[in-house]
Structure 1
Amino acid sequence: MVARPNGIDLTIGQEHAPPDSRSLSQSSIDPAVESGRRSFLRGLGGLFLGAGAAIAAPAILTAPADAAPVSAPRRQLSFVSLHTNEKLKITYFANGAYDRSALKDVNHMLRDWRTGEVGSMDPKLLDLLFHLRQRLRTEEPFQVISGYRCPKTNAMLTSKSEGVATKSLHMEGKAIDITMAGRQLSRIRQEALNLRLGGVGIYSRSGFVHVDTGRVRQWGV
């Protein structure tokens, strides 16, 4: 763990093999995320290789958002990548403003792990995650399956699975696929739905929940 001047802790792991790799290194994964990792691995092939997982069509929720705005003077998030083993604990908002340097570190952390391309993550997505972690009452990091996704990667995934949108919000930095140690997927999904701050999809077979800052809607079983 390397201390950073602006309050960031960042541990860099090694990149995994290209996207056709079917496993993650057992020895390089942090023990704290092992249980979530096993669930993720069971479903990885089905999602990325188009194994035919059944996904319900999105249901648009027309009720207005009822979540209170995030007003905490300091907002902190923690992430761990299930692909690269990188860890990031960062204060991205303080003194009434978003920290530009911190946002750059978040962008790097949530880059397209297949190509290394760095996108620009929506600060509202970070606020959604901050609010979600408050509701989940935990300090555990979000375990990240997918953050930013470049068009090339998205096109590849679309060709492999019907469960990947051709105009995915991942390409705009407005979506993230997550799980969390010690919290069931159903609980993460429900608390995200309660926020009514965007789209929420659950992928039970693949072991993660999708959240985004698009229109309020839900899908998945």
Structure 2
Amino acid sequence: MTDHSTSGFSRRGLLAAFAATAVVAAPTCSNAFGLLRGAGDVRRIRMYSGRTGESIDTIYWIEGEYVPEALNEITYFMRDWRSDQTKDIDPRMIDIAAASHRLLDVSEPYMLLSGYRTAQTNAMLRSKSRRVAQNSLHMKAQAADLRLRSRSVSQMYRAASACEAGGVGKYSRSNFVHMDCGPIRTWGS
């Protein structure tokens, strides 16, 4: 998604250029929020969706504050693509994904398999698989199922678990990691 400003320079455009050239040492703290607190004044998330063909590369946190326009873009990007419905994505979930991505030291964007799900979509998926939770945090816009081509499921799982900031599920057979901002817990094989 892009900034649609008609003027020569926008605040977001300038900050994106700054973020692209900034070099920040990888911090080491015990949770995602601590990790990102040491990451400077800018937080960025990069993802693409094979389902919709869309991609997003946006700075969503600047100088201690979430950027509302960026959160809106992320919410739309992570919508239930089956119904085209949205629900505001919990920024804590974005923080966990961004911190995990940073720990993996990779420039490749995440592939988003599932973000927000309506109750109807979740029920349909649950009818096809016993691994779909009845009260999934996807329905609260607090979870994402993510994949990277350049990192294994085990590497992603370890990075997300190291954040100690939510739930992390490892789905090796399906080649993805579930991340959420619910209670700290892990599962999977």
TM-score normalised according to structure 1 size: 0.71
2:36 to 55, 70, 73: 70
Question: Any idea what SS the aligned residue of 1:70 has?
Answer: helix
Q: Aligned partners of 1:132, 1:2: CA distance in 2, in Å?
A: 24
Q: Aligned partners of 1:149, 1:118: CA distance in 2, in Å?
A: 8
Superposition deviation, residue 199 in structure 1: 0.6
Superposition deviation, residue 218 in structure 1: 1.0
Residues 16-72 of structure 1, C-alpha deviation per residue, up to 9 Å, x if partnerless?
xxxxxxxxxxxxxxxxxxxxxxxxxxxxxxxxxxxxxxxxxxxxxxxxx93225223
2:55 to 62, 74, 87: 87
Q: Aligned partners of 1:146, 1:112: CA distance in 2, in Å?
A: 8
Q: Percent identity?
A: 36
* Structure 2 equivalent of residue 134 of structure 1: 102
* Structure 2 equivalent of residue 122 of structure 1: 90
* Structure 2 equivalent of residue 191 of structure 1: 159
Pair 182,155 (structure 1): closer, same or farther in 2 beyond 3 Å: same
Which structure's residues are more often helix, by fraction? 2
Question: Any idea what SS the aligned residue of 2:36 has?
Answer: coil
* Structure 2 equivalent of residue 179 of structure 1: 147
* Structure 1 equivalent of residue 119 of structure 2: 151
Letter in 2 for 1:162: R
TM-score normalised according to structure 2 size: 0.82
Superposition deviation, residue 3 in structure 1: 5.1
Q: Aligned partners of 1:148, 1:169: CA distance in 2, in Å?
A: 8
**Structure 1 residues not aligned, in runs of 5+:** 10-64
Pair 135,3 (structure 1): closer, same or farther in 2 beyond 3 Å: same
Residues 71-97 of structure 1, C-alpha deviation per residue, up to 9 Å, x if partnerless?
231111111002111011001011321
Superposition deviation, residue 202 in structure 1: 1.0
Question: Any idea what SS the aligned residue of 1:162 has?
Answer: coil
**Aligned alpha-carbon RMSD (Å):** 1.9
Letter in 2 for 1:105: E
Letter in 2 for 1:110: M
* Structure 2 equivalent of residue 213 of structure 1: 181
* Structure 2 equivalent of residue 105 of structure 1: 73
* Structure 2 equivalent of residue 22 of structure 1: none
Q: Aligned partners of 2:162, 2:93: CA distance in 1, in Å?
A: 15
Q: Aligned partners of 2:153, 2:107: CA distance in 1, in Å?
A: 16
**Structure 2 residues not aligned, in runs of 5+:** 6-11, 17-28
Name which structure has the greater RCO, CA cutoff 8 Å, separation 6+.
1
* Structure 2 equivalent of residue 42 of structure 1: none
Superposition deviation, residue 152 in structure 1: 0.8
